[in-house]
Amino acid sequence: MIAADAGTIGEPAVNISIFGAFVLITLVITFKASRNNKSAADFYAAGRNISGTQNGLAIAGDYLSAASFLGIAGAIAVYGYDGFLYSIGFLVAWLVALLLVAELLRNTARFTMADVLAFRMRQGPVRTAAAISTLVVSLFYLLAQMAGAGGLVTLLLGVSGEAAQALVVVVVGALMIFYVLVGGMRGTTYVQVIKATLLIAGAFVMTVWVLGKYGFNLSSLIGGAIDNGGQAVAEPGAQYGLTNVTKLDFISLGLALVLGTAGLPHVLMRFYTVPTAKDARRSVVVAIWLIGIFYIFSLVIGYGAGALVGREEILAAPGAVNAAAPLLAFELGGTALLGIISGVAFATILAVVAGLTITASASFAHDIYASVIKKGNAAPGSEVKVARIAAIVIGAVAIGLGILALQAGLNIAFLVALAFAVAASANLPTILYTLFWKNFTTQGALWSIYGGLIACVTLIIFSPVVSGAPVNPATGKSTSLLQDVDFSWFPLNNPGLVSIPLSFFLGWLGTKLSKERPDVGKYAELEVRSLTGIGAEKAVQH
């Protein structure tokens, strides 16, 4: 299976060729899309001309990231039932997004989440807080994607050594920045649509192939996984149920996953690319169906990897848990299927990081530069120019953090769960209070955003995620970002259980202690606009 000399699978030349073909196709799409980027609405929101079905595919593409494909499949292969928790959490979260935020945000915002939060508040401080929160969430998410890209390419090209792995992450980051600079949101959307179609088709092929080997009997497949990985893969709580601390971690992770989606800036920004609120609803429904079907496939792929590849071999491969899906593809279809599936996974990562980067750069340019620094008087074209410069800076930071995460060998589904925790802590309480509580004030918004953000990030820094985690026997390394140091005092790996309720409480407390009177008139306008679409941004005609 794994070549002993290089620590790679398949033929590196074939893998590079398929990678190259995917990159070339997406670059052509990006160049074609760039011809229509004439205004800020084109660059940020694709002119609001994306249909509900197309946007649903693009949302699924944004959401089915490296974590969904590589991380979840690997977690199921190694931990079985407990790994499937990520799939359940990620899917159920869409109900929160559909019922509470999708249509309302489409009707009230222009380009970013801060447009809604600042609608009836003092513009400067709220936009600044929302932009900072957006940048932090995006960087956490980018961290996971870059680590996934580095691990995947390391596995397929047989590169070894930290310098070679770092170079791979740099190349991925450079491609990501290029997509954003040239294609904007329109190019990113088209790449997402194609990538989502390919990813779901590839997962379908692997699912049918795996089930075919076990007579299309799921029980036989799980039996094979148990034979190869032990009884633990079929037992709930085997990964989490050892102590009271790990039980709390289990609850904290579930809370972050379910509440995080409705606060993810790059998902929220997708609602602004459609022409009507009806299309916003339709896009979420399409996305739910596609994502749900994909996660059923991921269950079969994960157990298939556990049964056909084996737990020990997965953990021993470069990329560890994240290598399960590529290893299964090689086991099933040899070099050809491996190359195709890995090419799709690579396209997945490129598309997702491009979407994250454009969201973060748009938030900086629109909320901080145009609205706070220039007070709404930015010169024509300057906002998009600043967004492009911000994309380069954000990409460079993501590259550096991605190299750290890759070398620590962290599961990327786990890293994404941290991004969800930050989004649920800093963004969701403020969004819900803004939309549904007429007495909410600027002070409440600032306390909620900054309080949730600072609490969440602080608890992550002082948790076993960053330092002090025990050494993994399979790799001989700690699973912490920083090796050989220990300054952790917070016992949970995911801080959602503490930081999310704290953010809701701080938003309430800040409002109650505020001396300013809430703008009830503005709230009435926001309510009418959010529910009816009167005054919403229209599509740009070309």
CATH topology of domain 59-409: Sodium/glucose cotransporter (1.20.1730)
Task: Kindly report the backbone phi and psi dihedral angles of residue 471, in degrees, each rounded to the nearest multiple of 5, phi listed first.
Answer: -70, 135
Where in the chain are the domains?
A: 59-409
Instruction: Mark 441-457 as b/e (b = at least 16 C-beta within 10 Å).
Output: bbbbbbbbbbbbbbbbb
Cβ atoms of 136 and 143 within 8 Å: the answer is: no
Q: Which residues pair with 146 in a beta bridge?
A: none
d(CA 285, CA 264): 17
Q: Are 86 and 417 in contact (CB under 8 A)?
A: yes
CB-based burial of residue 53 (10 Å sphere; 0-12 exposed, 13-18 middle, 19+ buried)? Answer: middle
Q: Which of 200, 227, 232 is closest to 301 using CA atoms? A: 200
Residues of the chain below pLDDT 50: 1-6, 540-542
8 Å CB contact between 249 and 25: no
First to last CA, the chain: 53
Distance separating alpha carbons of residues 117 and 108, to the nearest angstrom:
10
150 in Cβ contact with 143 (< 8 Å): no
Q: How far is CA 282 from CA 98, 103, 271, in A?
A: 9, 10, 10
pLDDT at 455: 93
What pLDDT is recorded for position 410?
61
CA distances from 273 to 47, 130, 331, 345, 351 (A): 7, 20, 40, 25, 16
Distance CA 448, CA 61 (A): 30
Report angle CA 361, 455, 397 to the nearest 5 degrees: 30
